[in-house]
Structure 1
Amino acid sequence: MRIGELAKRSLVPIRMLRYYEERGLLSPGRGANGYRDYRESDVTRAVLVSSLIRSGLPTRLIIPLLQDEPPGQPPATLDESPGAVDESLEGLFAAELARLDSKIACMNLSRTAVRKHLDRLRAPIPG
């Protein structure tokens, strides 16, 4: 499929899809005419990448998440020894998990406050 169709189906703007490709998050084939040629699986991948980015995950952490390499193999984008890569990635992912947990707790608190206020607004007025 072409980039316009992928954008429509994934709800990710064409500009962002090109950025994902630049960062190595999407790897479309190329047709004889030079146009990008996306697979069906790229729809799911583009949606996932978009969601991870919207949650605040940096692309440097998304790349190893998407790679199919076994643990101990350094991602192609990191130039360190395998042991150092595993330790540094572990620390980065642990910090990111803590950040996401904190953000989720904050959002749950906000959701509860908004829900209570909405319930008060919807409550029948006595009398």
Structure 2
Amino acid sequence: MPYDQSWMGYGFVGGLEAGAISAVAGALLFALFHAIGRRGGWSEARKIGWSYLLGVVLSAGADIGNLFYFNYGRLQSLALLRAKLAEVHDPDNLGTRVFCELVGVGVGIWLAWLAIDWRRRRGRGPAR
């Protein structure tokens, strides 16, 4: 889902900010799918897989789409290319931002999984 990125930094700093947003999205989605999967008898792999897939689509989908378009799309004119590049925040570091978003979703899911597992081991939550 595209969101306003005008406040974000450029270069690796912007990538880290996008990765942090993706990590929060991944953690929230894992918590949601953990609650749904606990009632449905899902395995951990299914919860993690759906959380990662939906997290990537929601938080990195627009940047992945732009990256794919600039690499494989047919650009008929220089004016069209300039118009498309003007819509993208920091097109020079688009690949870095996509990488940080993909890693961020995974890190967020991992941290949420650790928190849920720690809570379960401490005896404060249901077994699964």
| TM-score between the two structures when normalised by the length of structure 2 | 0.32
**Which structure dedicates a bigger proportion of its chain to helix?**
2
Please report the TM-score for the alignment, with normalisation by the length of structure 1. 0.32
Greater C-alpha Rg: 1
